Structure 1
Amino acid sequence: MTQEVMIAPHEITFQEIPIPTVSAKEVLVKIKRIGVCGSDIHVYHGRHPYVTYPLTQGHEVSARIEALGEGVTEFKIGQKVTIEPQVYCKKCYPCTHGKYNLCENLKVMGFQTTGTASEYFVVDASKVTPLSDGMTYDEGAMIEPLAVTVHACKRAGNVAGMKVAVLGAGPIGIMLSQSLKAMGAEIVMVTDISDYRLELAKKCGADFVYNTKKVDFAKAFVECFGEDKADIIYDCAGNDITMEQAIQNARKGSKIILVAVYAGMANVDLAKLNDSELELNTSMMYRHEDYVDAIRLVEEGKIQLKPLMSKHFSFKEYQSAYEYIDKNAETTMKVLIDVDPSDD
């Protein structure tokens, strides 16, 4: 079978290796689609701090089950599935207290361990989550980032009836705005500096959108929510500008949740954070229940994924996909790699 290998930044090749054999409690899947995310792009440019080369990528994925190892009874051959890419130790404090997404020894497929970018892939059955028959493989490959946003919603507690600002209209920001509305948020405001992305956020259900290159954030914030401002602010951009916007304008005693991977060391006003008794929280990946909820929200028609699908590339065009993203950064949301383009 063919496997993708990034041998160095900006250098992708392919190798032929045997189809892996399936052992007890494992599942062999045929990979269908792989999504390219922002962290993958960091790897491509040599800017990811926690990877070494060579490596095989792929962590946003949909697949079809080809074979079941001994003892695997919860799945069937031919079933549509996605894969949870976290590899955790099961022994550290977070793992033994239900928070394996915070494992002290966490590895992620496609970063610190082999990813799914191959024609076939063997994975522990515990990391396989079934997709509904009616879900497309394209949608299945986007469940992983959607689970990120579902988990982020839960980090705020019950968001029903809440007024929420989402800073950053990338794929995560737009999926988060949808997840918030699906979970009952009353008003969701999205900000960005790209009119294209803001128009897409509005199309996907955001109540209000503002380009903070054209409109002052503080003015827009009050215009949207009134003098009482928002209950929660999510930072999905991850830089000093957006975090300062959140800290300086948040209602005293309200919540700020960082979802984005922060771009370097922060230089923000912690004195203001303290003076306003703001709850600064973070959100890290997801757990199995977030995958289940993400799939349910798509099945119920509460999440639109298709508008976020920018372009498809064939498996052998993996490098071309990155080159396309670099040239079309503002207008590209989710690029999908068709490892097997069929929909059977």
Structure 2
Amino acid sequence: MRAIVYEQFSVLPRCRDIEPPSAPASGVVIDVEATGVCRSDHHAWSGHDATITLPHVPGHELVGRIDSAGSEVTDFQVGQRVTVPFVCGCGRCRWCSSGKAQVCPDQTQPGFTHFGSWADQVVIHNADANLIAVPDDLPASAMVGLGCRFATAFHGLRMRAKLQAGETVAVFGCGGVGLSAIMIARAVGAEVVAIDVSDSALARARELGAAWTVNASGLSPDDLSAEVVAQFSDRCPHGVAVTVEALGREDTIAAAVSSLAPLGRHVQIGLLPAAPVVDMSRVIGLELSVLGSHGMAAAEYPEMLDLVAAGSLRPQELVTDVIGLEDAPEALGAVGTNTGSGMTIIDMSR
């Protein structure tokens, strides 16, 4: 089968033929219909992920149909259209049993712990615990992002922060996951202010539902926080209910925490190269919550899929580029310098 393979970190991979996989007893092989190009793929290719062994096939956001299934798979059938969270649980531990597979100690991740979806086929382990059936009539562009960026943002806002209609949200960083958070917040009826240093990213944020935007260029964390709070001054003079940090920067985390009202909730999605300093005195004094979001378990998908099926949440609006598998190496290399605010997907039929 065709696959994108890299044999050295930070050296562009190439498309070549490799042996097709076989389904493990509890897993499946999926014929990939489409797959996403994510900043996490670039992070791994750059050598920043200890789980990667070489040679390697990237890719962790996907939609496709089951080609074959192991003898222990009982809940899914060959030919069924499915997607999968990028964090797959073991299906047996207490975290998986309680529907929290995203923190499973024995998790697998396609494109990280084993060969991923930038290939004609991909293996998914513990299929009954991790696969999500998806409608045949929804376009692939609406499904691909549900494996990572939309799932992580949805889990952070709805399951961790318990965001409700009418609440206020500040999203710091308008890349793929930040824009996903904006779309999700609007889908559930929240009011959103978007923060970025790029005018084009902020324009895209407005298109996707942000009511207000703040350009953070040249602003200190304190000044940025003041600008954010000012957007809601008539309704929430003491700060916003929820903040999302989607960049992975200590200064924007500081601004986000400073923007929260008493009892506010901060959702941290952006990955950081080192542990940040957080104003714990403020966290304690205002009883703030600092919440991480690391993907989303399959058990939590129904609410998000219902919004997509109803048209209230349209992940396909985030897609700006559709490429073929042969074009994927160049797209991977471009991620490090790409300042665009859209999503690139790989259509395996091209």
TM-score, normalised via structure 1 length: 0.88
* Counterpart for residue 54 of structure 1: 55
**What is the CA distance between 1:309 and its match in structure 2?**
1.5
Answering whether residue 211 of structure 2 is matched by residue 204 of structure 1, we say no
Q: How many residues align?
A: 339
Q: Could you list the per-position Cα deviations for residues 233-271 of structure 1 after superposition, in whole angstroms to 9, with x for gaps in the alignment?
A: 121222111111022332233221212222422133333
CA distance in 1, matches of 2:276, 2:85: 30
Distance 1:265 1:94, change over 3 A: same
* Counterpart for residue 150 of structure 1: 154
Contact 2:243 2:267 in 1 (8 A): yes
**What is the CA distance between 1:15 and its match in structure 2?**
4.4
Contact 1:196 1:330 in 2 (8 A): no
Answering whether residue 247 of structure 2 is matched by residue 264 of structure 1, we say no
Distance 1:77 1:253, change over 3 A: closer
CA distance in 1, matches of 2:31, 2:106: 28
**What is the CA distance between 1:332 and its match in structure 2?**
4.7
Contact 1:22 1:68 in 2 (8 A): yes
Q: Which runs of 5+ in 2 are unaligned?
A: none
Letter in 1 for 2:290: L
* Counterpart for residue 41 of structure 1: 42
Structure 1 residues 188-197 or 222-231, which shifts more?
Answer: 222-231
* Counterpart for residue 291 of structure 2: 281
Contact 2:60 2:86 in 1 (8 A): yes
CA distance in 1, matches of 2:46, 2:163: 38
* Counterpart for residue 162 of structure 1: 167
Q: Could you list the per-position Cα deviations for residues 310-331 of structure 1 after superposition, in whole angstroms to 9, with x for gaps in the alignment?
A: 323321222111233334x112
**One of 207, 214, 217 as aligned partner of 2:224:** 217
CA distance in 1, matches of 2:167, 2:238: 12
Distance 1:266 1:176, change over 3 A: same
Q: Which runs of 5+ in 1 are unaligned?
A: none
Letter in 2 for 1:196: S
Structure 1 residues 117-126 or 101-110, which shifts more?
Answer: 117-126
CA distance in 1, matches of 2:127, 2:97: 20
Residues 221-236 of structure 1 aligned to structure 2 (within 5 Å): 221-226=228-233, 227-236=237-246
Letter in 1 for 2:55: P
* Counterpart for residue 334 of structure 1: 343
CA distance in 1, matches of 2:15, 2:336: 21
* Counterpart for residue 245 of structure 1: 255
**One of 165, 175, 182 as aligned partner of 1:177:** 182
* Counterpart for residue 110 of structure 1: 111
* Counterpart for residue 122 of structure 2: 121
SS of structure 1 residue aligned to 2:263: coil
TM-score, normalised via structure 2 length: 0.87
* Counterpart for residue 326 of structure 2: 316
**What is the CA distance between 1:4 and its match in structure 2?**
2.4
Q: Could you list the per-position Cα deviations for residues 182-235 of structure 1 after superposition, in whole angstroms to 9, with x for gaps in the alignment?
A: 1232x1111111111111111011111111116742332232111132111121
**What is the CA distance between 1:88 and its match in structure 2?**
3.0
Contact 1:204 1:304 in 2 (8 A): no
